[in-house]
Amino acid sequence: MDRTNSTAHPRRSSPWHYLEASEVVRLLEVDLTNGLSADEVKRRREKFGLNCITARRGTPAWQKFLQQFNQPLIYILLVAVGVTAFLGEWMDSAVISGVVIVNAIVGFLQEAKAEKAIESLSRMVTTETTVRREGTKQRVHSDQLVPGDVVVLQSGDRVPADLRLFHVKGLQVDESALTGESLPVQKHCSPLALDTVLVDRKNLAFSGTLVTAGQGEGAVWATGDSTETGHIAHLIAEAVDLSTPLTKKIVQFSRLLLWVILALAITTFAIGVVRGEKVVEMFMASVALAVGAIPEGLPAAVTIVLATGVGRMAKRRAIIRKLPAVETLGSTTVTGDHLATARAIAAQIGLGHSDEGKLVALSGRELEKISDAELPEMAERTVVFARVAPEQKLRLVRALQSRGHVVAMTGDGVNDAPALKQADIGIAMGISGTDVAKSAAAMVLTDDNFASIEAAVEEGRGVFDNLTKFIVWIMPTNLGEALLLITSIFFGLPLPALPLQLLWINLTDTLLGLPLAFEPKEAGVMHRPPRDPRQPFLTHALLMRTGLVSLIMVAGGMGLFYWEIRVAQTGLAAARTAVVNVIVLIEAVYLFNCRSLNRSLFTMGLFTNRWALGGAFSMLGAQLVFTYAPVMNRLFHSAPISGESWMRIAVVAAVSFAAVELEKWIRFGRRHEERSIPE
């Protein structure tokens, strides 16, 4: 199959390893003794271009920034900005706009670095080389080579293009970066069988490989993008940056939340209109509900949780570029080698038996004959793959992913880069790995020690757990705020909290919830089986707990709102301030509930995460400012409340804490104290 632009290299698909030297001379139209003439070199350079790999154009910075707004939950906030501006609520509009812009900036700054693999390839193949032209040896820059040039190789040279060798004297070439072979290859000039796989084409020399011994001469048959290295660059560009299992869950979660928020907002608007409320007021109520239901702090929390994990892994000799995928490493089955060697290793680790319809091993030569339609089934039935070419590795990864597998790929060579990028997580070697492999991988082992992968799995699971805890913690707040508004409208009461007050809660609760990012890994995290990628963040047990806390928040908030207005007669602003404070205080105690999703706080110790204590006290200080500072009273329409109000708020929060601890004990009991995440 011709893998390149046929206009640029019409002879790219010729089986050069199969041809005799005389046929090579005829096809390339060259005199192997004298080389090409200057005029012929010029003509061919104009036709085929420079001998360099084309760099892929990156996404402009402005486009990356605009992409941050292409998120379901941001759409609602943008609508809220427009509606509040239209209604003349300029303060609300400005604050919501600020939230949207800050989130966009954070996301933009956290974007992965631009792909550098192709640039690394270009640097690797750009050098000086010796050629025969017009009967003499000349030293030229490698990017000036054209098909038909006769290249002279000696020990220490880097091969500047793909060559068909016609003269060798003890020539050995290190092709490990391209083929994965650990030892230098002894080259010869004799023709080979037509079906010889890439790694065994010993009469060819490939661009970017290194001459380790001997001398040789060969004719250039491919340059630039048409070389095997250029083909790999094309595969890297073709491989997609897959969303990790974690980011997929976040996207699914966001979409589900979007529809729930829209449904609640429409319900709120409809109930109010049916009850005879003004349309404009119901618009504002719907906006308030949307603002209250959106977890604005989620993007920042994800960023900080992942950054914390990156820091921990750096201390354990693994550089993580896409930490969310690390949790899925335990699913590897295949968040390869030489055929005989691979069979021996497979037998030693218990994969050498052909049971349950599984094949023992499949070579690259056999793999080439399998169609794309048949490959997924064959890939799933095979436990060992050997002597596979770069595009075959890419095909294998895609085939396994099409069957629902979460694929981890390890490698260090240029030939591994396309599959490293395509895999759910690519793992490159920091010492022996090429720059190309490192750029394409999600994780780099700085010590080339596979034991570090186990540490990465452990850290990744801890990160996943902590992010799940944050989402489980933040959801009752957003759901509770939405239900509060719907309840008040249903009973014809004033809004218990204004849109700006709900936005204040959602912005400040990020400060309160971030200590969960620093929660130590729970015992037994590595004794769990790999998490099913299809399992959602919120399991049935966690959904029930979210509903429980939300209902306590609604009951406590509405009860306090009614008490402050009708019994204490403190006024609407003070009543709303009490509601805001009870939501925040329930959040604070629920934070300690969520430090473990099934173990009691009393079995963990109150001081094992001092960040949580600091976050709770910081949040309490912020609420005192919100309640008593005159400037905050003007901005957020809050008002001072009495000591009796604080006592009632504390009672509701205590009931919430006790209810969740009791629910944990009833649902899991002592038998499951060491489990990290409930099923």
DSSP, residue by residue, 292-317: HHS-TTHHHHHHHHHHHHHHHHHTTT
Q: Which of 198-212, 238-252, 341-355, 497-511 has the lowest mean pLDDT?
A: 341-355
Exposed e or buried b for every residue in 5-20, given b needs 16+ CB within 10 A? eeebbeebebebbebe
Q: Is 528 left (phi over 0), alpha (psi -120 to 50) or beta?
A: beta
For tokens 């640097």, name the residue. Answer: 123
Per-residue pLDDT reduced to its tens digit, 462-479: 877 888 888 888 888 888
Q: What is the DSSP letter of 31?
A: -
Give me 422's structure tokens. Answer: 């395509």
Cα(137)–Cα(154) distance, rounded to whole angstroms? 13
Q: Which of 24-28, 437-441, 637-641, 665-669 has the lowest mean pLDDT?
A: 437-441
**487, burial (CB in 10 Å: exposed 0-12, middle 13-18, buried 19+):** middle
pLDDT at residue 533 in the model: 62
For tokens 């992965």, name the residue. Answer: 112
Per-residue pLDDT reduced to its tens digit, 545-571: 999 999 999 999 999 999 999 888 889
CATH architecture entry for 68-114+322-455: 3-Layer(aba) Sandwich (3.40)
Confidence tier at 677 by pLDDT (50, 70, 90): very low
Query: How many other C-beta atoms can be found within 10 angstroms of the C-beta atom of residue 42?
Result: 12
Helix (H, G, I), strand (E, B) or coil at 20: coil
Q: Which of 31-35, 154-158, 274-278 has the lowest mean pLDDT?
A: 274-278
Look over the chain and give the mean of its residue pLDDT values, rounded to a whole number. 78
**Extents of the domains making up the chain:** 16-56+124-232, 68-114+322-455, 245-303+459-672
pLDDT at residue 145 in the model: 94
**554, burial (CB in 10 Å: exposed 0-12, middle 13-18, buried 19+):** buried
> Which phi and psi angles does 499 have, rounded to 5°?
-55, -45
Segment 112-117 mean pLDDT? 41
Cα(525)–Cα(458) distance, rounded to whole angstroms? 7
pLDDT at residue 64 in the model: 73
pLDDT at residue 658 in the model: 94
Which is more confidently placed, 115 or 174?
174
Residue 179 predicted with pLDDT over 60: yes
Which is more confidently placed, 627 or 239?
627
Q: Where are the alpha helices (DSSP H) in 364-498?
A: 364-367, 375-381, 390-402, 417-422, 435-440, 451-490
Which of 36-45, 93-102, 350-359 has maximum average pLDDT?
Answer: 36-45
Residue 153 predicted with pLDDT over 90: yes
CATH superfamily of 245-303+459-672: Calcium-transporting ATPase, transmembrane domain (1.20.1110.10)
Segment 85-89 mean pLDDT? 72
What is the CATH number that goes with domain 16-56+124-232?
2.70.150.10
Nearest residue to 253 (alpha-carbon basis) of 467, 418, 95: 467
CA atoms within 13 A on the CB side of 219: 25
pLDDT at residue 281 in the model: 78
Instruction: Decide if 320 contacts 442 (C-beta within 8 A).
Output: yes
Per-residue pLDDT reduced to its tens digit, 520-554: 877 777 777 666 666 666 778 888 899 999 999 99
Q: What pTM value is reported for the model? A: 0.64
Segment 185-210 mean pLDDT? 90
Per-residue pLDDT reduced to its tens digit, 34-48: 999 999 999 999 999
Residue 188 predicted with pLDDT over 60: yes
